Structure 1
């Protein structure tokens, strides 16, 4: 076992150490158009953190400060997980789905079972998280089974020795850009993600990931990842794509440019931010949030950290309009409120109405002025295209749902 302090020192070694090519750099054209789905399970954590706005802001601050693969380990009220097999024969681990980080690792609650396909690389593994904690351990390569159609050979796996905050979870499935793995392994500059390897090993026809979530309060309790493309049955109309933003630090993630209007009133002019499954709420810059609060009449609720409105104010609520690449995505009044059936899970009252738009903690102009988190993504299908450096969105059957 290597102490965290020693591991941290090793992980700050210059990037010159054993520079390795990313999988995206090795990608080559395919003739196949194969895609493969991975079903997800939604989990409601009644013992999760109550002030989710504070947890999301902690995640944002870490992302903004370092541009590294940081997540909040305690933000786990509503999460999507996948059961992922490691080894041959496979041992299955319940992993958090996260597009805001790129390393895949295990060991938080279930011990790594080594098999004939397990190979220790000699590398030390470490990722710093939004709450200041560090997941640390060793790097192995191993066979990873997402499902019978999605089997990856020699995938980089972090095997954690020191972890905290992953109650009921065994680790994380990283789905962000490969750049986020830089300097997380002591003897490698960058390692291929699971999506990279699925593509370079010929399992999928394009390096594209489609993500489908349903509102937590709906009758559909499952989500779905589609590797190699997107699931056309889950969308209405077409996917509209925009390039990854050029603005740092949002450019290091699945970053996009967008503007936001409340009704017909602009509250955030076009600026850069990110799309992130690991953030629960929709976070916007402080100056935009003040305008939103004034327009809605919401008052800060100490217990939840969210804005609270009355039933009469809810009836007067206008839609939010997100303009992304010239396309307007309408987030209805119902889409702006926390699922009332889950109020007590965040420390709220059963009959309270809480808004899911929260203050990011800094004024616009920082280079990361919004995060479209789970509460946005449960209303819109999203597609992450590594090959063409773009992100796409489409409406779904839940875009105009009234399940909240």
Structure 2
């Protein structure tokens, strides 16, 4: 018989080379995610900040010309607490799968400790909703209950704009998005937090899982971010994976291929788009959006910019279906509704019914034809799997919730 330690090593080796999907449950690295609205900067601010981000995502060169770009404060952010330094200072960072650099200093100033090492490199990144300019450091990053990542690259902002009530960003996008962000070394990719957790042996697979619960409260802790695997009780039924799309520019991000139907009517044929925690709404190509407006009887609201429907139209609303490979992920009429309890935060009527589908601003066939933002993610468990270049989705106990 094998000694216990040897048997464990064999099991781990088998997991590392198997070609079949393996769900690693009860990962030790799980952080709570909090949602916070900040829409004090005027009407339409939520839609405007989302549209500014959409423009940046559709134009990869945007991140290199950030400082001259007009800024809009982040309206809806999803944050985690991350420690930096030894002893660590805790920073509130936006969870962003649409960018890959991790940085601090927008709010709480960076505190240098014995583990802080300046590389001397200058970092400059634009996000549409804001930008930061500063210096690259390596430092110890702490996640959760004392789990540390030594020598993690972080940006330290000397100038930051557009980030209110947060300290920076935890970048969870593909590592390729870091290319060009170091002004002094634009051809070098910067290992992300997830990269280093994997390369340092802390997690077995380079996987990030995100779980949200639909909510009509503000602010609220309503999600979990898990590194290295998945949490079984956060999803209902199996996780089904789809490969990263090969279509540019969606392939630069966490991009997938999907089609969308309203009821039984296809409004967007199979095309490429992205999955993004940093976008609040669901954006679809203009031709699909116009079909959606016509089918729902909705119209853009002058106060919020969101799609407004009457009570009668809402009662007639049909399911919105996202077809990914052979699977269909359905958003019920209630799931398509912005939480009515939060209408006034947008400058809207407390009794109105606003929908979470918005116009991407370009017609389909542009290479990035949809963005499945938070409104989608709060209904489906999502797994970002760098190790196998794929994204997984599953229903959750809240997929069909009538909370709104």
Instruction: Find the counterpart in structure 2 of residue 204 from structure 1.
Output: 203
Instruction: Find the counterpart in structure 2 of residue 10 from structure 1.
Output: none
8 Å contact kept, 1:249–1:367: yes
Please, which of 51, 64, 70 is the counterpart of residue 58 of structure 2? Answer: 64
Instruction: Find the counterpart in structure 1 of residue 85 from structure 2.
Output: 87
Superposition TM-score, scaled by structure 2 size? 0.89
SS in 2 for 1:312: helix
How many Å separate the matches in 2 of 1:174 and 1:73? Answer: 20
Q: Which moved more, 1:285-294 or 1:37-46?
A: 37-46
Instruction: Find the counterpart in structure 1 of residue 297 from structure 2.
Output: 297
8 Å contact kept, 1:69–1:102: no
Listed one character per residue, the Cα deviations across residues 331-387 of structure 1 (whole Å, up to 9, x for unaligned) are: 000010100000011111000000110100010000000000000000001000001
Listed one character per residue, the Cα deviations across residues 39-74 of structure 1 (whole Å, up to 9, x for unaligned) are: 122223252564223322221121112267699974
Q: Which moved more, 1:368-377 or 1:79-88?
A: 79-88
Instruction: Find the counterpart in structure 2 of residue 36 from structure 1.
Output: 29
Q: What is the correspondence of 1:1-400 to structure 2 with a 5 Å cutoff?
A: 29=16, 35-47=28-40, 50-51=43-44, 52-66=46-60, 74=72, 76-131=74-129, 134-148=131-145, 150-188=147-185, 189-217=188-216, 221-400=221-400
Cα displacement (A) at 1:221? 3.4
How many Å separate the matches in 2 of 1:46 and 1:58? Answer: 15
How many Å separate the matches in 2 of 1:38 and 1:332? Answer: 28
Structure 1: gaps (5+ residues): 1-27
SS in 2 for 1:221: strand
SS in 1 for 2:205: coil
8 Å contact kept, 1:87–1:143: yes
Listed one character per residue, the Cα deviations across residues 112-133 of structure 1 (whole Å, up to 9, x for unaligned) are: 10000000001111102215x5
Superposition TM-score, scaled by structure 1 size? 0.89
How many Å separate the matches in 2 of 1:309 and 1:217? Answer: 19
Q: Which moved more, 1:91-100 or 1:66-75?
A: 66-75
How many Å separate the matches in 1 of 2:286 and 2:382? Answer: 26
SS in 1 for 2:100: coil
Listed one character per residue, the Cα deviations across residues 237-272 of structure 1 (whole Å, up to 9, x for unaligned) are: 010000000000000000000000000000000000
Structure 2: gaps (5+ residues): 1-14
SS in 1 for 2:59: helix
Over the aligned positions, Cα root-mean-square deviation in angstroms equals 2.2
- Aligned CA distance change for structure 1 residues 29 and 124 (closer, same or farther; 3 Å): farther
How many Å separate the matches in 1 of 2:88 and 2:378? Answer: 31
8 Å contact kept, 2:74–2:162: no
How many Å separate the matches in 1 of 2:212 and 2:248? Answer: 28
- Aligned CA distance change for structure 1 residues 216 and 130 (closer, same or farther; 3 Å): same
Cα displacement (A) at 1:79? 2.3
